[in-house]
Structure 1
Amino acid sequence: MRVLAIDPGNVESGYALIDAETRRPIEVGKIANHELRGALLDGQLSDGIEVGAIEMVASYGMAVGKEVFETCVWIGRFIEASGLGLAPIYRRDVKLHHCGSAKAKDANIVQALVDRFASGEPNRGKGTKAEPGFFYGFRADIWQAMALAVMVADRIEGVHP
């Protein structure tokens, strides 16, 4: 089984397509939202995928800017385009799953992934072009999409790291 997860943004979004059993990345990227939507619509990313998730925006009572509202629009467009019924999952749940704390930062989540899948590997498990590592090509929002995908795969198997 494959799991697709999206970390949405107002202009670009990160995505991770992983093997649910091994948690190995099959395809990852950070691309323009219109390109990601197109890939979902034409089945490039959504065909053959049984489970999908998208990070959902949550309100904590603070004022937000137009970027947050634009991201919300894209979340809806991605859910509709996927045909999967992407499950909206809140960031807080991802933090608790990987770090055990709702106060965790992006860097803490990245470190939790590195510790789990590439412990002791140089360059945070990215490797090199000649010898790609587990996290080869990861940057920015791709890490957060991966964290979401791993959490979904863990939930499917009832795993609690």
Structure 2
Amino acid sequence: MSLLAIDPGNTHSGFALIEPGTCRPIKVGKIPNVEVLDLIRVTSYDHLSIEMIASYGMAVGKEVFDTCVWIGRFIQHHSNRVADLADYELVYRREVKLHHCNSTSAKDANIIQALIDRFACGEPNRGKGTKANPGWFYGFASDIWQAYALAVLTSDTRERNAA
């Protein structure tokens, strides 16, 4: 059983495949969006969570609209591989911030620190470890953190709702 979370971008997206419950990372990365489509097609997972874009009344550029198109393509690829569309969800960034930091004004650094405090408190190198001795967050960088934060939120929410 696993959970796939995607932090979409206009050309590349971060992803995190985790074990629900423990939130242990199975596979993480930041790859071109066309490779994310392949990942969705060939990866075995039980639930898909994608960060959704929200409008706050400000003007946005082409990149935001391109990202929206990719979100739709990810959902389409997911729906082609499963019969039940109920096993995916779109989650807004605001929910991720509230879940990990109890504040909608939290920044990426705050979310990262909350994840480190929860899963790798006191570990050297912020829980990343080394190549010889990988830590919980080995290989994490940039958008991977945000995909993982989304995955943890989804896992926690699904676990709470199942109880």
Residue 8 of structure 2: aligned partner: 8
Could you list the structure 1 runs, at least 4 aligned residues long, displaced by more than 6 angstroms after superposition. Answer: none
- Given candidates 115, 123, 126, the residue that maps to 2:125 is 123
Q: Distance in 2 between matches of 1:88 and 1:144?
A: 14
**Counterpart in 2 of 1:24?**
24
Match of 2:15, SS state, is strand
66, 70, 73: which one aligns with 1:70: 66
When the two chains are superposed, the root-mean-square deviation of aligned CA atoms in Å is 1.2
Question: Matched residues in 2 for 1:149 and 1:39: separation?
Answer: 16
Listed as ranges, the gaps of 5+ residues in structure 1 are none
- CA deviations 1:101-129 (Å, max 9, x no partner) are 00000000000000000001111100000
Greater percentage in helix: 2
Distance 2:116 2:39 in 1: 28
Give the equivalent residue in structure 2 for 1:97. Answer: 99
Identity %: 63
Distance in 2 (alpha carbons) for counterparts of 1:3 and 1:24: 10
Partners of 1:28 and 1:141 in 2: how far apart?
Answer: 10
Secondary structure of 2:144 counterpart = helix
Gaps of 5+ in 2: none
Aligned to 1:148: 150
TM-score (normalizing by structure 2): 0.92
Q: How many residues align?
A: 155
TM-score normalized by the length of structure 1: 0.93
Q: Report the 3-state secondary structure (helix = DSSP H, G, I; strand = E; otherwise coil) of the residue aligned with 2:156.
A: helix
